A = this chain, B = another copy of it.
Amino acid sequence: MGRIIVEVMPKPEILDPQGKAIAGALPHQGFTEFTDVRQGKRFELAVDGAVTEEALAAARRAAENMLSNPVIEDVVGVYAEDQ
């Protein structure tokens, strides 16, 4: 079984309240190393057999059209996962 990873993040200019909440909470737990946090999504798409170029192309279309909201999100990665 092959697997395609799709990564979606909020656009840099869009406020990310979840990320901000985490960034605000981390120092209270002793994590002072991090200056900012942004939270996005990671999808795993399973395919039968190996990942083909056609499946990758379909995943890119699905990423743009169904897995992300292009108004507020960017697709930052679509790639076959090493098994």
Known contacts A42-B40, A43-B39, A44-B9, A55 near B33 by CB under 8 Å: yes
Pick the contact of A42: B9, B36, B46 (CB < 8 A): B9
**A47 in contact (CB, < 8 A):** yes
**A62 in contact (CB, < 8 A):** yes
Report Cα–Cα, A9/B6, bound state, in Å: 12
Q: Is the CB of B37 within 8 A of A43?
A: yes
**A78 in contact (CB, < 8 A):** no
17 A-B pairs in the complex with CB atoms less than 8 angstroms apart = A4-B34, A9-B44, A31-B58, A33-B55, A33-B59, A34-B45, A34-B58, A35-B48, A36-B44, A36-B45, A37-B44, A37-B46, A38-B44, A39-B41, A40-B42, A41-B41, A42-B42
